Structure 1
C-alpha cells in the first residue's frame, strides 16, 4: 500500500574545504578574545531587566500578580514595567521582581 523510498543522496563534506582553500580563514580567532570590560556585567543585567520586564508585560497574569503583591493598580504596575523595558530610569516601586 505504502512504499518507502530511502534516498541515496551523498552529503558533501564541507570540513575539507579549509584545506583546499587556505585563503578562507576563520574570521574569529579563539585566542583573540576581547578584553574583559568592567561594565560588561552591568550591561548584561540591564539587558536581563529589560527582557524580564517585557516578559511580565506580555503575560497579564504575572502583571496582575505583581500589582496585587505590591498593592499597586494594574496601570501603575504596567507603567513601571514599560519604563523598565524602555530603559527609562525609575524608582524601584515593585519589590522582588529582579534579584539584586
Structure 2
C-alpha cells in the first residue's frame, strides 16, 4: 500500500491501481498517471505523491471500474503543495 495526497494535503490510500479516501471510500482507478472515477471520467493527475486536477488532462476517459470500500486510514494531512492544478473533487 502506498499513500498519496491531494493538492491541499488530504491523505489517500493506493492499493495496486485502486485509490481510496481517508474514510475508505473507493475513489477510482489509476492508469497512465491519471485517476479515473468509478464511472471512468477523469478525476486527477498523479504528480509525485500528489493528485491534482488539471483541465488539460480532463478530456481523457477510461472504462468504468468498481471495488469494495476499504477500512479507513488514520493519517494526518500533509502541507498543501504549490503545484499547477486544482484540488480534485474527492469525498473525504
**TM > 0.5 between the two?**
no
Q: Which has the larger radius of gyration?
A: 1
TM-score range, shorter chain: under 0.3
Structure ranking higher in strand proportion: 2
Compare relative contact order (CA 8 Å, sep 6+) and give the higher one, 1 or 2: 2
TM norm structure 2: 0.26
Structure ranking higher in helix proportion: 1
TM norm structure 1: 0.25
